[in-house]
Amino acid sequence: MKFATTSTAVLAFMIGASSLSDSVVSAQAPALSAACNQYLTSLSQASNPLSKCRVYTALGFPQMTHKNDHDTPKLQKAIVEYCSEPACTAEQYTGVYKDLQTNCASDMIPANQATLGVTMYMWYMSPAQRDAICLREDGSSITKVDLPESNSNNVSTTSFACVTKSINTMILNNQYPNQNPNEDDLYGYLQFVTPFLSAKGTNVTNVKGQFCSSCNQQVANVFSTYYQKTPSPFPSLSLDRPLTTDRLSEDLKYQYKSSCGVDLGSDTFKPVNLTDPSSNKGKSDNAATVMAAKDALWGLGLATVAASLAGLMAI
């Protein structure tokens, strides 16, 4: 099943493995304490107020999709409705971060990297995921005015979300997320492009035309800017690979610098126009630093799981 496969990929990233089976994950992860398990269960309930503003649960995943589902108009409609509602507040997220550390203090050990560590990762990424999902190609955000009933002509806007445009491109080119037919549904595609982390390991033949699209660049910059402004609240926990902002940021910046010639992480970021050869000027700048980041991060086995880093919210 696709959801299990994707979770395995994310778990592999969190423990620095190049491949990982579900059985290995189960064998490595001890049972969580009663207090921690109870708290995590409460977070996943539909009655929890956070379920209405967290990205994937609020959009209706996993129920809204099915195998070989390419109905992106359905996804676009769900995105517009979701982005028209208030986001989770910073205070709500701070409360979750604090409660995780309170209820799961004894569980924050290396052996729980593949379970609790992943949960912590997903909560940290939630605010950036919303901003990315609600982004248009012109850099503006989808709001209530995009709802059909808010338009004077009672028709939906033609300004698609960036993620919808990226997914349509993948479907047009018969490109599966992670080259995995089991992820051929709306949930798989949406996770893959938030953000699209690497052209490696995919069947992208025109890197500049697909990986370096305007939308992919802007979505990646959403995450890069978030990492800079909002350091991970979990940098020093007793996990095998602590969740640090630097670790998440360096590989993302390397990929877009080396492939697209752009520097992520700016509020005034403008995507490179790849039809203009001069726009790639500076692509090789600071090559030593770039290669050091490549050696350090890809050596951890991130290449095989990079495209799934931002997904798997359904816990």
- Domain interval for residue 49: 2-308
Task: Supply the pLDDT for residue 147.
Answer: 59
Percent of the chain residues past pLDDT 90, beyond the cut: 38
DSSP tag of 237: S
DSSP tag of 236: S
Q: Does the structure show a pLDDT above 90 at 219?
A: yes
Q: In this structure, which long-range contacts are made by residues 200-205, counting pairs with CB atoms below 8 Å and at least 24 apart in sequence?
A: 200/303, 200/306, 201/303, 201/304, 201/306, 201/307, 202/175, 202/178, 202/307, 203/173, 203/174, 203/175, 203/176, 203/179, 204/173, 204/175
Task: Supply the pLDDT for residue 276.
Answer: 43
Task: Supply the pLDDT for residue 222.
Answer: 95
Token couple for 99: 């409660």
Task: Supply the pLDDT for residue 89.
Answer: 93
The answer to whether residue 78 is domain-embedded is yes
At 20, which amino acid appears? L
At 24, which amino acid appears? V
Q: Are 304 and 18 in contact (CB under 8 A)?
A: yes
Q: At what angle do helices 118-133 and 90-103 cross, to 10 degrees?
A: 170
Mean pLDDT, rounded, for 132-136: 94
Q: Does the structure show a pLDDT above 60 at 290?
A: no
The answer to whether residue 314 is domain-embedded is no
For the chain, what is the domain count?
1
The answer to whether residue 315 is domain-embedded is no
Considering only residues 308 and 134, tell me which one the structure prediction assigns the higher pLDDT. Answer: 134
In 92-229 the beta strands, taken as DSSP E runs, fall at none
Task: Supply the pLDDT for residue 311.
Answer: 34
The answer to whether residue 33 is domain-embedded is yes
State the Rg of the chain over Cα.
19
The answer to whether residue 20 is domain-embedded is yes
Percent of the chain residues past pLDDT 70, beyond the cut: 70
The answer to whether residue 21 is domain-embedded is yes
The answer to whether residue 112 is domain-embedded is yes
At 191, which amino acid appears? Q
Q: Are 198 and 82 in contact (CB under 8 A)?
A: no
Q: How far is CA 269 from CA 221, 265, 266, in A?
A: 7, 7, 5
* Predicted TM-score (pTM) of this structure: 0.77
Q: Are 235 and 120 in contact (CB under 8 A)?
A: no
Task: Supply the pLDDT for residue 90.
Answer: 92
The answer to whether residue 313 is domain-embedded is no
Q: Does the structure show a pLDDT above 70 at 10?
A: no
Tens digits of residue pLDDT in 196-211: 988 775 666 677 778 8
31-45, 89-103, 164-178, 283-297: which range is least confident on average? 283-297
Considering only residues 158 and 48, tell me which one the structure prediction assigns the higher pLDDT. Answer: 48
Task: Supply the pLDDT for residue 197.
Answer: 86
Task: Supply the pLDDT for residue 49.
Answer: 87
Task: Supply the pLDDT for residue 188.
Answer: 92
Q: How far is CA 281 from CA 181, 182, 273, 276, 293, in A?
A: 37, 39, 11, 10, 20
Residue 287: Cβ-neighbour burial (10 angstroms; 0-12, 13-18, 19+): exposed
Neighbouring residues of 188: CB distance < 8 A, sequence distance ≥ 6 = 2, 6, 176, 177, 178, 180, 182
Q: Does the structure show a pLDDT above 60 at 281?
A: no
